[in-house]
Amino acid sequence: MNIKLLLFSTLLFLAVSSKAQNFITNWQNRADSYSGNGSTIGFASGIAYNPVTQKLYLAQRGLKISIIDPATGVAPTTGPDSLISTGIKRSSIVGTTTTTEYTFSKVAVTTDGEIYATTAAVNTTTASVFEIYYWSNESATPVKVYSYTITATTERMGDSFGLTGTGDNVVLYTGGASLSTTIRVLAKENGVFVKKRDITLNAAGIGGAAISAVTTGLTSDFWISGSNYGKRKYAADGTRLGTPVNTALTATGPTANAISKNFIGLKYFEIGAKKFVAVNGGAIATTTTSSTYPGEDLSLHIYDVTGVTAEGSANVSFVAGVAMSGVGVANTAGMAAVDFKRTNNADGTVTMQFFQVVSKNGFASHTITFAADGTLPVSLTSFTASLLNNQSQLNWSTASESNNAGFEIESSQDGVSFNKIGFVASQATNSNSILNYSFIDKLAKPGTTYYRLKQVDLDGKFSYSEVKFITNQLSVTDGISVYPNPTEDFIILNGLDTIGSTITLFDVQGKQISTKGLVEGNKVVLKDLEAGVYILNVSKNGKLLHHTKVIKR
């Protein structure tokens, strides 16, 4: 469950804020203002994190893979600021000209720190060469480990790239946009990368943006993404295992149980038993204002795909979303990528720092923390309690919700022992829009009352908010007094103007007691009630005139 609470001001409430654990944007670099590493990032199309060196790589299409400090978003203060590209003289994507515009399209890193990058190649009228390069470390000279001459006019390679495994067990995947219908799978034989299989997709271009393996080895399933195509999960033999519903974003957020086909980048990951994909970026036709909703243009979203096992599967749910700020610049080629740094914390939580790049727009870093089971912990920034007409008014708002059943409201007179006094159901269960909630405790007792929220997930898991309190300085108003108190049979409300007045009675659990047949003018008959403590309210024209505790013997 992920919740962000927004502040409601009050003069009668002491607030202590806690840090929200929704997406936090660490930094962003927009293409129109960033000139780090000696070049602009207008044509950046690939991004990858190295868990060994703890550096970020940005493939910029043109003999340039920049090295970025993931903590700051700029070049490291020590060491190289880019990978060596000496000796690489690639032709263009379309043939034999001398331009190197499409030299490094995508970059990927193994878990033990070895670096691979692809060129992009297509045959329109002239054969073009697709290549994969390898760096053993950040200071190494690149080695060409695979080369393939594209001769068919329907072939294209290098727009999508993924890997799994390490050392001699590395498996490489590559695909192409446009007319390409193939994912090529490469693995080593006698230390040399060779084609193990070509997987024929069911439509052209659907694997032309991203490929992300589920596990290691040649038998791994994998996810693919294409610009303006639904995301798909395939088995190693080419069997299609699942395709989530691909309805685009709406003006208020993601369509329920769908991943927009307009997203480009994709990266698979698991936490606990839950399975996720992170998706980002969209093909921007014209300049547009960026926001998380609407618009996939500069956004990064996480979806739970644990239940995706069939075509047109609706077993997918939105988890969280964030976006780069600013105005989106036209990105008609539809190039974007996403990767992450994973930190398993001592308390069992998992912090995911995501890195996204959207070509011609920029790149950014965002962080979010999951519970050990893959759910998002409740994140409370504020929650208020105030006194209104001698009643406790509780207000809170959620900026996002996931798997939320609702909120139990608990109160206490000593701040230690709490009892449930009410429940407010979630308005949406899953949401990334602001939702407002409130609760009125009509039994606000004299003195100090403490309150807390117990947020309950659909699976029964729960988390508590901070404790808030109000101090109710009740006084007899309009000359009303109650006697005898304690009593065995009845009470008299001395000074009560019975015309237009309403008398209500509650037990200590907050349950309203029917006063039908009990009220006779200014007399309330209690002889048939069980012995105990009751709360008496007297109101007129919506205003609480009197509030007192009555003891029935």
Q: What is the pLDDT of residues 299-350, one digit of tens each?
A: 899 999 998 887 777 788 888 888 888 777 777 777 899 999 999 999 898 9
Mean predicted lDDT score pLDDT of the chain? 82
Strand 299-304's sheet: what is its strand order? 263-271, 274-282, 299-304, 317-323
Number of CB atoms found within 10 A of residue 393's CB: 20
Q: Which residue has the tokens 């108003």?
A: 477
Alpha carbons 504 and 331: distance in angstroms, whole number: 64
Residue 475 clears pLDDT 60, i.e. is over it: no
In this predicted structure, the answer to whether residue 20 has a pLDDT above a threshold of 70 is no
Identify the pLDDT of residue 282: 80
Comparing C-alpha atoms, which of 158, 138, 139 is closest to residue 148?
Answer: 158
Residues 6+ apart with CB under 8 A from 514: none
Higher pLDDT, 479 or 317: 317
Q: Which amino acid is at 184?
A: R
Under DSSP, is residue 231 helix (H, G, I), strand (E, B) or coil?
A: strand
Q: How far apart are CA 408 and CA 386, in angstroms?
A: 18
Task: Write phi, then psi, for 167 (nearest 5 degrees).
Answer: 55, -130
Task: Give 402's Cβ-side CA count (13 Å radius).
Answer: 25
d(CA 204, CA 201): 7
Residue 169 phi/psi, 5-degree rounding, is -105, 15
Higher-confidence position of 91 and 459: 459
Count of other CB atoms within 10 angstroms of residue 425:
11
Tell me the pLDDT band of 69, cut-offs 50, 70 and 90.
Answer: very high
Q: How much is the pLDDT for 435?
A: 80
What single DSSP character describes residue 260?
Answer: -
Higher pLDDT, 101 or 307: 307
> Smallest Cα–Cα separation from 265: which of 161, 170, 173?
161
Question: Per DSSP, which regions of 176-239 are E strands?
Answer: 182-189, 192-200, 210-213, 222-226, 229-234
CA atoms within 13 Å, Cβ hemisphere of 427? 14
Of the pLDDT bands very low, low, confident and very high (cuts 50, 70, 90), residue 271 is very high
The closest alpha carbon to 307, from 298, 317, 297, belongs to 317
Please tell me the predicted confidence (pLDDT) of residue 7: 30
What are the pLDDT digits (tens) for 389-419? 778 899 988 766 777 888 999 998 767 788 9
Whether the pLDDT of residue 97 is over 70: the answer is no
Q: What does each C-alpha distance from 108 to 21, 163, 258, 499 come to in angstroms?
A: 29, 7, 28, 79
444 pLDDT higher than 80: no
Query: What are the φ and ψ backbone dihedral angles of 168, each rounded to 5 degrees?
Result: -75, -5
Is residue 291 predicted with pLDDT exceeding 60? no
CA angle 71, 75, 77 (to 5 degrees): 85
Alpha carbon 513 to its chain's center: 45
pLDDT at 457: 83
State the pLDDT confidence band at 94, using cuts at 50, 70 and 90: low
Per-residue pLDDT tens digits for 29-59:
987 766 655 444 567 889 999 999 999 999 9
Beta strands in 345-477 (DSSP E): 350-358, 362-370, 378-379, 384-388, 391-398, 404-412, 419-425, 435-441, 447-457, 462-464, 468-472
Residue 192: predicted pLDDT: 97
Q: Which of 270, 419, 293 is nearest to 352 (CA)?
A: 270
pLDDT digits (tens, 9 = 90+) for 181-237: 899 999 999 999 999 999 999 888 899 999 999 999 999 999 999 988 889 999 999
**DSSP-assigned letters across all residues of 299-355:** EEEEEE-TT--SEEE---EEEEEEE--SEEPP-TT--EEEEEEEEE-TTS-EEEEEE
- ∠ CA 368-372-374 to the nearest 5 degrees? 60
Higher pLDDT, 5 or 309: 309
Which domains does the chain possess?
21-287+294-370 (2.120.10.30), 379-472 (2.60.40.10), 481-552 (2.60.40.10)
Closest among 163, 160, 240, 151 to 203, alpha carbons compared: 240
Span 413-424, pLDDT tens digits: 767 788 999 999
Range with lowest mean pLDDT among 142-151, 188-197, 217-226, 451-460: 451-460
Q: Which of 17-26, 457-466, 477-486 has the lowest mean pLDDT?
A: 17-26
* Percent of residues, the chain, with pLDDT higher than 90: 39
Among 43-57, 220-234, 248-262, 487-501, the range scoring the smallest mean pLDDT is 248-262
**How is residue 551 written in tokens?**
């003891």
